[in-house]
Amino acid sequence: MEERRDNTAARQEWLRRARAVQIQTLLNGSKLELVSGELVGPCPVCGGDDRFALKPREQIFNCRKCEKGGKGAIDFLKFRDGLSFNDAAERLAGPPPKANGASREWIYPDAEGRPYLKVVRFDSGANKQYPQYKWDGGQWIKGKPKGPKIPYRLPELLDSDRTEPVYVCEGEKCADAVAGLGSTATSASEGAGKWTADLNEHFRDRIIHILPDNDGPGRKHAATVAANLDGIAKEVRVVALPGLADKEDVFDWIERGGTREQLEEIGETAPI
């Protein structure tokens, strides 16, 4: 089965996560050497030396013997393992989103773009659960990674313009909404009250605008983040968005028509 022509937001986010996986992480210790900007070595399908080549930046690969190639991790798994498009994407990003929206997933890539943490949201009536999974090099295993916490959307954070603000949100859904405006956005896993000091260095000398949820835990969480980043970030502001009802957040504000320009203007007037 080839790629479904399904343009729902949940599916497109699922595919984005799958495509964010770097082919290098799937080579399982293959001995590739860097030659003129390409990783060259034995083909994982046909074997033999100097047949397989990967351009790391473009994520383009090919084998001269197999006379096949492609671009990105999904194409690579189709080539190496004979998977369909959807099966390859599921191998990389976990199960696809359900049509009824009962579950949603967020992937935390590390600084090299490798999968590190997956957070899954399950809704069961009024109850919400957020189990976490770690990547073992080939599949997701339930449980947190043993290493430190990392910010959500870390590769985008590292590549972003350092003269522009980084918006720190309370959850991944809000960070994705702000990123959808074209801004740099992130969050910490596990929600309000779960910021830890190992996150701080990722924000050194950055301009930080914290966007709290409009409730007591949200404001307390924003104060905790601000206290952690004080003296590390270049500038820290807690940005209270106008017009939010109790328990609403920046996602709701954007849903009602909030723009990047408005968000920047409100942020610039917030006290340091």
Measure the CA–CA gap between 251 and 191, rounded to whole angstroms.
15
Name the pTM for this structure.
0.64
Pairs from 160-166 (Cβ < 8 Å, separation ≥ 24): 160/184, 162/205, 162/206, 162/207, 163/207, 164/207, 165/207, 165/208, 165/209, 165/264, 165/267, 166/203, 166/206, 166/207, 166/208, 166/209
Does the domain at 154-269 match CATH 3.40.50.1010? Answer given as no
Name the band, by pLDDT with cuts 50, 70 and 90, for residue 103. low
Identify whether the C-beta of residue 140 lies closer than 8 Å to the C-beta of residue 163.
no
Digit-coded pLDDT (tens) for 157-197: 999 999 999 999 999 999 999 999 999 999 999 888 899 99
Measure the CA–CA gap between 225 and 156, rounded to whole angstroms.
20
Does the domain at 9-93 match CATH 3.90.580.10? Answer given as yes
Identify whether the C-beta of residue 186 lies closer than 8 Å to the C-beta of residue 157.
yes
Half-sphere exposure for 15 (CA within 13 Å, toward CB): 13
The whole-chain average pLDDT of the chain stands at 88
- DSSP letter (8 states) at residue 270: S
Domain ranges in the chain are 9-93, 103-142, 154-269
Digit-coded pLDDT (tens) for 37-58: 899 988 989 887 778 999 998 9
pLDDT at 86: 84
pLDDT at 97: 67
Name the band, by pLDDT with cuts 50, 70 and 90, for residue 214. very high
Across 10-14, 78-82, 129-133, 159-163, least confident range: 10-14
